[in-house]
Chain A
């Protein structure tokens, strides 16, 4: 790897300037890393994943890699923030060693890839366990201890695959970061100078923006599941339409004015607590009404994603309420670069969860197997 320079002095601290997120570095890195890692995640699934999953691997790859790009953005942002932090502590500001930055990006991206692979492996194991029982019951020549042995073998296979896969991800990410660095002229900017803070964040504060994003994300997921519920139970579809409208309205209200409105925050808390309670109830005990009263519903990715966003919205709303609705968002005044990075990271994380939730609500975007038949894949 080549560096841009080893003798370049620290950039001047210009009054009125702040150090913003270098999106021209972050986005290419995140995209390249997401698709490169996605290749191995998909290939590994094809090698040792559950039968029925992993069909149409090219489609799976670009679908899933696209969906996880925001997570890689988070990883790169986090790595850059940490690099700046380390550099600040070492020298009180100045150039961040390229190898440190690159190394942190590699580690962070590998961590994301590892989680993706491990989650996939766990899901595969879950499906394979079910399949073992199905095949055994079909033939009747594999009793309980035999199923346990096969399950243990399958578990060990998934563990080994995840281990080997992580090694491949690490090597791939090393290469990818080196290549992107070369493509960027031998440098990895950790910050980007900016004259003044502008945009939404400057007007409404980072936490309000985050709160609005979480609400909007939840609304998007809820509107995405309306068609599915229309087929099952029209009342449920109307509930999600109403919830979408309320969450969208709450997002707008939160963003209005120089300070957050207390009433709006209370509305946010209510629109978050309500669906969360309904969700937990429906998954644990089953709703007492509807097509299957008292029958717990299956937990799915879209509802988990919406639940996470509602929880985030609730926590942020409570935090803003506790501080006092009229107080300015402290984040506005905080100009430390890693804070800028971290606020963008939080926003991107909300985007990532939203994207996962929306994508999972659409048939064919994830290689998910229907619970009623472990061998059938929803892949289009």
Chain B
């Protein structure tokens, strides 16, 4: 084997036909190989890249970087949770309305709530910006919620410890014992930081026109049960509660931009402190068209939102509209949406047949997966001595802050219970769906199954395919949803849907008629319908399969079992086609003339470093400053500041990289007017609820949306951020401000 030291004229082979042929063949081979590689890359890699929004020059690099990141940086080694052996036996918990605190009680508090200077928190440093009397509202109904260290059980079923191949494996307990593979076990209780010590936390049924003040008081330093706090949750036990997405003043909004610059001037409210969040239950601008219908409150402590939410800080806050009885929880009035209201003696009320469903996925420790986390290097949980395995935590919730693509679990829970069952009456129900997961996106269908759920392990699945634990291989869609509301409240018109996606923090409200199937056949007592997730999302980056992209007909994971029960009176109605539910706030006729001067924010992955990875406009979150827009078409680079009472267009772009981003804007609901450069004000079949108001823009890879939004009533600092909480906690957030 040799090479010539000279040019071709010295090479005798250059004059031989055999040599020429060989060289020509080699050259052709090189050209052909290159061509074949290009064709193969386009044929095989193209569709995959296209689905992830990576079919671009930058996208190819992003895909490559991500793969290298997976190899070098990300730790996506999560435990396989033990298999719940008797799913769909625990009843679905439906939180009851929390009782308010009587005036006689809270007036006796050492620091009672009130409108005065220093009355907004325990530091005595802040004041409520607008006390209800200022807008002609009555004094607020007062609730008290304590942040408590308690326990929670996701199931009462026995479990079988399995490994990532779905095979039985060993297990452990807190006392150092090891149990042989195949041993059925009972799960230990998981440690939670809960609102009033429960998961999910309390449900506050609110009404427009009746302000609510919630005193959140931190008792997380108290450990009366002697619990092991494990290695997640804010390490200083602080909290910061955000009512998602209440129209509130910054001091009650629970956002880090405010919290770091006012009030506690730290990442959150520590043990022994309290803050009074005042929820005016006042629509933006006093405009009835801005009324919403389903909030939830969750922790927003800077850098630890994900771990605190995962550790239990979730509460529910449906809000009803009593004006003209439109949507007050009484199906005999107004829109006649399902709901039978029962007023309680303590001033609260419950609404039957109106059921919140909070979805949350978790993983339970297998005792052999190493806990390895960037936060270990920050000395946050020294007692854990990570990196280490923790057999003593077997069966309790497992969490990893960073680095990962976003945390996804393999056990799906509803209202804190894994694979629950709900016996429903033969009538219509209103369900308020909430995705309280950290990163998982769901796509729900209503399915019937003759053979019922089979464990994924028994069907031969392994690895990520085990996520969800059970499948209904013979599942067939049997009912439709009638969607009546989204994040921003009632839709203008109801939408019939076979399925719908639920992104983190999003809400969707639907009516399900349990009296008949979609083909018109009546249901009978004892029939079973499964609420089924058909979106496969193996990690926190994005789905691998869904109805919109590469559907996997075998991925049908039942998450909630409905069992048809007895008949019940039903005065509710499914809105007729075209019936107006809630008028949309008007868009100005000249909104397109505002495009040039819009603010532009691009969310993107930076690269790995310490605990910062995610950026907006190339910047990590700086809680002490407002963000800055990219240069807009008018050539301006504007600060993220808006005058109070103003309206503007904001563009949110997904900078690519193969991630989806549920992007949440605090304060007022927005309306998507353009998606990927196309006008959506007349509707977009692929995003049917773009015609509604929302507080979270669901950004597919490479997508951009332009939203129209207002900035009314309050002034001060707010935030906007990705609601994949691993992204938010690692700097994908920016501060913005409403100025006087």
Contacts and interface: CB of A to CB of B under 8 A. Distances in A.
Interface in B146-195: none
Interface string B39-69: 0000000000000000011101110111111
B236 interface: yes
B606 A51 contact: yes
A58 B326 CA distance: 55
A149 interface: yes
Contact of A146 (B9, B19, B379): B379
B66 A189 contact: no
Interface size class of B (residues with CB under 8 A): 35 or more
Interface in A28-55: 39-40, 42-55
Given A11-B10, A49-B607, A51-B620, A182 B29 contact: yes
B27 A183 contact: yes
A344 B6 CA distance: 18
A95 B1 CA distance: 10
B65 A4 contact: no
A342 B495 CA distance: 75
Interface in A51-98: 51-58, 61, 84, 87, 93-98
A155 B223 CA distance: 38
A154 interface: yes
B5 A48 contact: no
A138 B256 CA distance: 12
B91 to A, nearest CB: 41
Given A48-B73, A179-B33, A193-B9, A4 B19 contact: yes
A375 interface: yes
Interface in B4-55: 4-7, 9-13, 19, 22-24, 26-27, 29-31, 33-34
A246 B32 CA distance: 53
Nearest to A135: B612
Contacts of A43: 61, 64-65, 68
A186 B5 CA distance: 13
A183 B3 contact: no
A138 B3 contact: no
A18 to B, nearest CB: 12
B11 A45 contact: no
A139 B606 CA distance: 20
B267 to A, nearest CB: 6
Given A2-B26, A4-B23, A5-B13, A193 B7 contact: yes
Nearest to A165: B68
B267 A141 contact: yes
Interface in B517-555: none
Given A44-B68, A135-B611, A8 B4 contact: yes
A347 to B, nearest CB: 22
A220 B599 CA distance: 40
Contact of A154 (B1, B610, B623): B610
B2 A55 contact: no
Q: Is the interface of B mostly helix, strand, loop or mixed?
A: mixed
Given A57-B65, A139-B302, A187-B3, A145 B379 contact: yes
Contacts of B24: 185
Given A57-B58, A183-B31, A95 B65 contact: no
A6 B374 contact: no
Contact of B3 (A95, A128, A160): A95
Interface string A138-177: 1111110110011011100100110010000000000000
Contact of B4 (A4, A124, A377): A4
B105 interface: no
A48 B69 contact: yes
A57 B62 contact: yes
A146 B609 contact: no
Contact of B618 (A46, A52, A152, A183): A52
Nearest to B73: A48
A92 B72 CA distance: 48
B463 interface: no
A77 to B, nearest CB: 15
Contact of B61 (A61, A101, A102, A146): A61
A68 to B, nearest CB: 17
Contact of B73 (A42, A47, A96, A139): A47
Contact of A47 (B1, B68, B615): B68
Given A138-B624, A182-B30, A186-B23, A191 B610 contact: no
Contacts of A42: 61
A3 interface: yes
B65 A47 contact: yes
Contact of A185 (B27, B69, B378): B27
Given A11-B10, A98-B2, A189-B6, A150 B377 contact: yes
Contact of A187 (B4, B60, B379, B731): B4
B72 A48 contact: yes
A12 B10 contact: yes
A318 B288 CA distance: 86
Contacts of B26: 2, 182-183, 185-186
A139 B267 contact: yes
A132 B380 CA distance: 15
Given A48-B72, A51-B609, A95 B378 contact: no
Interface of B: 1-7, 9-13, 19, 22-24, 26-27, 29-31, 33-34, 56-58, 60-62, 64-69, 71-73, 235-236, 266-267, 302-303, 374, 377-380, 604, 606-613, 615, 618-620, 622-624, 655, 731
- Interchain residue pairs A-B with the least CB separation, the first 10: A46-B65, A51-B606, A185-B23, A57-B61, A58-B57, A47-B68, A98-B3, A11-B6, A182-B30, A43-B64
Interface of A: 1-6, 8-12, 19, 22, 39-40, 42-58, 61, 84, 87, 93-99, 101-102, 124, 127-128, 131-132, 135, 138-143, 145-146, 149-150, 152-154, 157, 160-161, 164, 179-180, 182-193, 375-377
Given A47-B66, A57-B58, A124-B609, 13 more contacts: A11-B5, A11-B10, A47-B69, A57-B61, A135-B611, A141-B267, A145-B379, A146-B378, A150-B374, A179-B33, A180-B30, A193-B6, A377-B618
